[in-house]
Structure 1
Amino acid sequence: MPEHHSAAAMVPPIGVVAPGAPLSPVSSDRHGALLSGFREVVRIGSATLVRADSMEVLEALEPGSIGAVLCDPPYSSGGLHAGERARAPSQKYQGSEHRHLYAEFAGDCRDQRSFLAWSAMWMARARHAVVPGGICAAFTDWRQLPISTDAIQVAGWTWRGIVPWDKTECVRPIVGRYRNQAEFLVWGTNGHRPLAGKVAPGAYRQAVPKTKLHMTAKPVELMERLLSIVDGPVLDPFMGSAPIGVACANLGLPYIGVEFSAHYFDVACRRLEAHHAQRAA
C-alpha cells in the first residue's frame, strides 16, 4: 500500500557534507525522511511523489543525493509572440476538438527571457543534488531549443548534446510546411562522466501515446530507453502524469517525482498505485 505523509512544517535543515567526502546517492528511505516535511508526500514502492513547487524540493535535497535528472518541463512555447505564448496550454497545444479533455497545467506562460532565467535556476539547483558525472536531460521544442541549451550551461552543467525525439508522421500536418514532428532532449553532465557502461541511441522514433492522461504526455517506452544509461534515484521535477515514474518502476530505479498541480499529482498517484498493484499481482 502507498504511504501518505502530511505535515504543516517546512523541510528540516539538510545535513552538511564534509569537504572531500565521496558523494553517492542516498537511500530511498533517506529521501523519504528529507521530503516528509512537505504538505503532501506519497510513497509507492520505490517512488516518492511530492506535491510542491519544484524549486522548494530541489533546495531540500542533499548534495550528491540524486543519480540523474530526466524531466519534461513546461516549455512556455506555442507561439511566435509573447501574447500567444501567454495563452492557456490547451489553446496552444490542442485543436478545438480536444480542448477540454485535459486539465490545464501551470508555468507555461513565460517569455523567453524569463524562461531562460527560470530554467537556469532550476537546473542549477538540480546540479547540486546530482552526483558528480550524473546526467541532466530535459525536453524542449524547436522554439525553445536555443534557450534550453543556453540554460543548461548557465546552470553549470557540461553540455553534452541534443537527442531528437521523432514523434512520427502522426503529428498534425500544416499545408505548405515541414511537419514539426520532433522534440528535443537537451542533456549534460555534472562535470566529468567516465567513459563506461552502456551506449544509448542518439535519436529516437516513437509515436505520441494514443491514450494520454496529460495533454503533453510522452511515451513510457521512450522514457525507458532514455533511462538505460542512468542510475537512480531519478529526479523528475515536473512529473505531470508520471510516465517517467512508470518507466522507473519498470526498470527498478528509485524515483522522485514533483508536481505542483493537485489534479495531476492525484493522476500520477493513481497511475503509479495501479501500476504497482499490477506488477505485484
Structure 2
Amino acid sequence: MAEIKEFKEFVPIGENACIALGDAITKLQTLPDKCVDLIITDPPYNLGLFMKKRGTNMNKLREGHFAASGWDDLDFNEWTRQMNILFQECHRVLKKKGNLIMFMSIIKVETLINLGQENGFYYKTVGVWHKTNPLPRNMNLQFINSTETWIYMVNDGTTGTFNNEGKAIHDFVETATISNKERKFGKHPTQKPIGLLSHFIEILSNENDTVLDPFMGSGSTGVSCKKLKRKFIGIELNEKYYKLSEDRILNDI
C-alpha cells in the first residue's frame, strides 16, 4: 500500500500527515480500501434551520456560529442521504475492526446509529463530552448548553483496539474547551480541544496507526495525532480552515 504522503489529491504535511482541500465524500473516494485504523470526526450537525425556526436571534450570535454560517442548514432528507454516503466510504476505507468516533447533536444520534448499522458498523455506545467552561449563553433563561454527544462504532466486527490498561473507562469525558494556545493561528466555531481528541486517539488506536478526520475543521485531530505518534489524513472544505489546520499541524499547536 502507498504511504499516506503519496495519496492522490492529498498534500503531505511533514512525514506522517497529509491533508486535502475539498468535499469530504469526494476526497474520501480517492483513498484506497482499508487504509485507516481509526476515524474520529465532527461532521455538520445539520441544526442551522432548526435553530432559525426556534426563533433564535441570529443577529446577536457571535460571528461564525454554526446556526448563522450557511453550511449547516441542509434539508434533513438531503443531510441523511449525504451521511449515508459518508458511512459507505468510511466503511470502505476503515480496516476490519477499525474504530469510529463521531461527534453529533443528541437529536440526530438515532439517525446515525441506524445509518452506521446499515453500512457495516457495529454500534457500541453513545457517550457525553462535558465542557467545564461553556459559554453562559441565556443563563437566566434556560440551562446552559454544556454537553455534546459522541457515537462509538466498530467496522466489520464487535470489538476493536481498546487500550484501557485494565482500567474502567466511563462514557463520560470532561474537559475544558479550547485553550488560548489552541487559538494562536485562529479558531473554528465548533473547534474541539486537543485533550478531548487525544483521549479517544490513545484508547482506540496504537502508535503508527493511521487516523482519518473527513471534517478536520481547525486540524485538532491532526495535532493530536502528531503528538501521539499516529499518522493522520484530514479533509476540509473551507480554505480558511484548511490553512489553519496546516499551520497548527506544522507547529504542533
TM-score interval w.r.t. the shorter chain? 0.7 to 0.9
Trace 1:11-160 onto structure 2 (pairs within 5 A): 26=1, 30-35=3-8, 38=9, 41-78=11-48, 80=50, 84=53, 91=58, 95-96=60-61, 98-99=62-63, 107-160=71-124
% identity of equivalent residues: 20
Kept after mapping to 1: 8 A contact 2:28/2:89: yes
**1:210: Cα distance to partner?**
4.6
Cα distance in structure 2, aligned partners of 1:227 and 1:220 = 10
**Could you say which structure has the greater relative contact order, defined with CA pairs below 8 angstroms and 6 or more residues apart?**
2
The one of 193, 199, 207 equivalent to 1:225 is: 199
Deviates more, 1:148-157 or 1:192-201: 192-201
Does 171-180 or 127-136 show the bigger shift? 171-180
**Residue ranges of structure 2 left out of the alignment (5+ in a row):** none
The structure whose Rg is larger is 1
1:66–1:129: 8 Å Cα contact kept in structure 2?
A: yes
Aligned-residue offset at 1:227: 0.9
Root-mean-square deviation over aligned CA pairs = 2.8
Matched, 1:202 2:171: yes
Whether the 8 Å CA contact 1:112–1:147 is kept in 2: the answer is: no
Residue 162 of structure 1 aligns to a residue whose secondary structure is: strand
Supply the distance in 1 between the matched residues of 2:237 and 2:69 (Cα, whole angstroms). Answer: 9
Q: TM-score, normalised by structure 2?
A: 0.82
The partner residue of 2:151 within 182, 186, 192 is 186
Provide TM-score, normalisation by structure 1.
Answer: 0.75
Instruction: Report Cα offsets for 1:128-183 as digits up to 9, x if no partner.
Output: 11111001111111232232222222332111111110113533344353332211
Runs of 4+ off more than 6 Å? none
1:45 CA displacement: 3.4
- Any stretches of 5+ residues in structure 1 without a counterpart? 1-25, 277-281
Structure 2 residue matching 1:175: 3-state secondary structure = coil
Q: How many residues of Structure 1 are paired with residues of Structure 2 in the alignment?
A: 238
